[in-house]
């Protein structure tokens, strides 16, 4: 007789690794999925076609209490953990990638930065309104000559009585022109390079602030990406976020949560793709049999499902560790790099599996192909993620040699 196997359940108290979601995380995901499938998925194609900013979806996110969900209740949040937040970005992106990124920028890139670096007065002034959805947030770092190398930004902030005057031009701001508050990064001490950048919270109506028209894009067309133009914009001292000259640290730290959000967007897009192509394979017949009955087609589906699961595990691990306060820059970049890569490859593979149907404008698969590509570009391109991973990896090896 073989020795009795001790089930994992019985020894779970002694195990460090547990892949189960908590009941609260399950419930949050179920609520996010229900909202997204009921309200966002049916309208995603219309928004893609009209390019209209989906304010309706943003207001629904506010009504259902998803905005700023990771913040403490004192500031209007729900005190949710970071994995729950990632699950929500995944579900919203699965239904509508545009809504996924609007939600992600508002939460990770804007509200969390205000919470992490703001004074108590700033937190109380800005966060409850962001959480109630009365105000939409944006994050403006990129400039014409400062994308991957964001520290090369040239927007200038000059000291004046009571505050600063900002001049310059930002490009590619998500929620641009629609958002009410912008986290804007500008040079305050040119001689100190990346140690001379400051973050400002600038309201949409500030005199001298204007916006370019929404850019025509390959995908996520309704997400409003614009230039932000600053002509001698006065920003009072009480709208400086964090310490003067230490804004670049805020920009980079904020991208940790942001990259988790984009990895979740990639996972959501790939899940939507698998849902779509698996259903198609079960229905479509060629040579008298369903595509789903062909081993060659099954092999593609199996690989897509495996990529999806691997991306999801990297994402959940990074989100969980980040939420625990662990420094996981490398793991976050791995999650974004891998999730975006398999999302792009998976949407293309699905389009191929669907034949001419997958190439038709206005179909779900065609939109998912277009929407997936941006996950490899924003919040650090895939090359930048590889650089971050390699740098951390080599530093670990060097530590071992000391
Ligand atoms: C739709 C959209 C929304 C966006 N939203 C925002 C936003 O809300 N806020 C914001 O601040 N920015 C936003 N961005 C900007 C985005 O983050 C940048 O486009 C991105 O970081 C890349 O910068 P870049 O376009 O200047 O490309 P570049 O930095 O010019 O890079 C061009 C190419 O060179 C590669 N490359 C660069 N440096 C290296 C290197 N050292 N080694 C190897 N390869 C390298 C890059 O990977 C890329 O392939 C958005 C962009 C888009 C398209």
For residue 149, the CA-to-ligand 1 centroid distance in Å is 8
For residue 249, the CA-to-ligand 1 centroid distance in Å is 18
Residues 15-24 pLDDT 10s: 678 889 999 9
Note whether residue 143 is domain-resident: yes
Asked whether residue 266 falls in the same domain as residue 397, the answer is: yes
Helices (H), 136-207: none
Note whether residue 13 is domain-resident: no
CATH number at 95 reads 1.10.540.10
For residue 353, the CA-to-ligand 1 centroid distance in Å is 31
Asked whether residue 258 falls in the same domain as residue 211, the answer is: no
Any catalytic annotation for residue 379? yes
Asked whether residue 244 falls in the same domain as residue 267, the answer is: no
Note whether residue 237 is domain-resident: yes
Q: Whose CA is nearest to atom 29 of ligand 1?
A: 148
Note whether residue 99 is domain-resident: yes
Higher-scoring residue by pLDDT: 8, 128: 128
CATH number at 369 reads 1.20.140.10
Residues 71-115 pLDDT 10s: 999 999 999 999 999 999 999 999 999 999 999 999 999 999 999
What's the structural domain count of the chain?
3
> What domain range includes position 330?
252-401
Give the ligand 1 atom nearest the CA of 381. 47
Which residues have CB under 8 Å from 206's CB, separation 6+? 233, 234, 235
Give the ligand 1 atom nearest the CA of 223. 1
Note whether residue 5 is domain-resident: no
Asked whether residue 347 falls in the same domain as residue 376, the answer is: yes
Residue 252, token pair as written in the block = 């980079």
Q: Whose CA is nearest to atom 25 of ligand 1?
A: 147
Residue 88: φ, ψ to 5°: -70, -45
Note whether residue 14 is domain-resident: no
Asked whether residue 269 falls in the same domain as residue 396, the answer is: yes
Asked whether residue 46 falls in the same domain as residue 35, the answer is: yes
Q: Of 379, 355, 369, which is closest to residue 270 (Cα–Cα)?
A: 369
Asked whether residue 279 falls in the same domain as residue 389, the answer is: yes
Q: What is the 3-state secondary structure (H, E, C) of 57-76?
A: HHHHHHHCCCCCCCCCHHHC
Residue from 142, 145, 169 whose mutation best tests the ligand 1 pocket (most atoms within 8 A of CB): 142
CATH number at 152 reads 2.40.110.10
Note whether residue 220 is domain-resident: yes
Above 50 in pLDDT, residue 8? Answer: no
Give the ligand 1 atom nearest the CA of 215. 1
pLDDT at site 401: 81
Helices (H), 219-328: 247-283, 295-323
For residue 209, the CA-to-ligand 1 centroid distance in Å is 23
Q: How many CA atoms lie within 13 A of 346 on its CB side?
A: 34
Note whether residue 367 is domain-resident: yes
Residues 113-148 pLDDT 10s: 999 999 999 999 999 999 999 999 999 999 999 999
Among the candidates 223, 248, 273, a domain finishes at 248
- What separation in angstroms does the CA of 262 have from each of 125, 328, 401? 28, 16, 35
Asked whether residue 163 falls in the same domain as residue 35, the answer is: no
* Options 52, 112, 379, 383, the catalytic residue: 379
Residues 251-275 pLDDT 10s: 999 999 999 999 999 999 999 999 9
pLDDT at site 2: 54
Asked whether residue 186 falls in the same domain as residue 197, the answer is: yes
Higher-scoring residue by pLDDT: 290, 3: 290
Asked whether residue 200 falls in the same domain as residue 221, the answer is: yes
């Amino acid at each position: 007789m073989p020795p009795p196997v001790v089930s994992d359940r019985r020894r779970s108290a002694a195990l460090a690794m547990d892949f189960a979601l908590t009941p609260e995380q399950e419930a949050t995901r179920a609520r996010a999925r229900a909202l997204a499938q009921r309200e966002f998925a049916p309208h995603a194609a219309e928004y893609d076609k009209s390019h209209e900013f989906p304010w309706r979806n943003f207001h629904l996110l506010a009504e259902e209490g998803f905005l700023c969900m990771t913040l403490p209740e004192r500031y209007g949040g729900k005190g949710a953990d970071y994995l729950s937040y990632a699950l929500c970005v995944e579900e919203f992106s699965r239904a509508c990638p545009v809504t996924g990124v609007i939600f992600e920028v508002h939460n990770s890139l804007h509200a969390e930065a205000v919470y992490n670096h703001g004074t108590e007065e700033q937190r109380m002034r800005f966060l409850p309104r962001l959480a109630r959805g009365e105000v939409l947030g944006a994050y403006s770092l990129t400039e014409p000559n400062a994308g991957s190398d964001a520290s090369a930004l040239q927007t200038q902030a000059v000291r004046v009585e009571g505050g600063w005057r900002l001049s310059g031009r930002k490009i590619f701001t998500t929620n641009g022109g629609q958002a009410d508050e912008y986290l804007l990064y500008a040079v305050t001490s040119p001689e100190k390079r990346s140690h001379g950048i400051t973050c400002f919270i600038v309201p949409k109506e500030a005199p001298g602030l204007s916006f370019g028209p929404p850019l025509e894009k390959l995908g996520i067309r309704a997400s409003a990406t614009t230039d932000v133009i600053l002509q001698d914009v006065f920003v009072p001292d009480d709208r400086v976020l964090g310490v003067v000259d230490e804004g670049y640290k805020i920009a980079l730290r904020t991208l940790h949560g942001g990259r988790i959000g984009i990895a979740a967007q990639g996972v959501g897009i790939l899940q939507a793709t698998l849902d779509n192509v698996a259903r198609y394979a079960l229905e479509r017949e060629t040579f008298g049999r369903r595509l789903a009955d062909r081993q060659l087609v099954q092999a593609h589906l199996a690989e897509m499902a495996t990529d999806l699961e691997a991306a999801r595990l990297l994402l959940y691990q990074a989100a969980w560790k980040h939420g625990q306060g662990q420094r996981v820059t490398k793991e976050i970049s791995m999650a974004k790099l891998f999730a975006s890569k398999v999302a792009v490859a998976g949407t293309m593979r699905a389009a191929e599996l669907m034949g001419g149907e997958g190439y038709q404008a206005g179909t779900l698969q065609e939109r998912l192909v277009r929407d997936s590509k941006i996950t490899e570009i924003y919040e650090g391109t895939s090359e930048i993620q590889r650089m971050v991973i390699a740098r951390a990896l080599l530093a670990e090896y060097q530590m071992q040699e000391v």
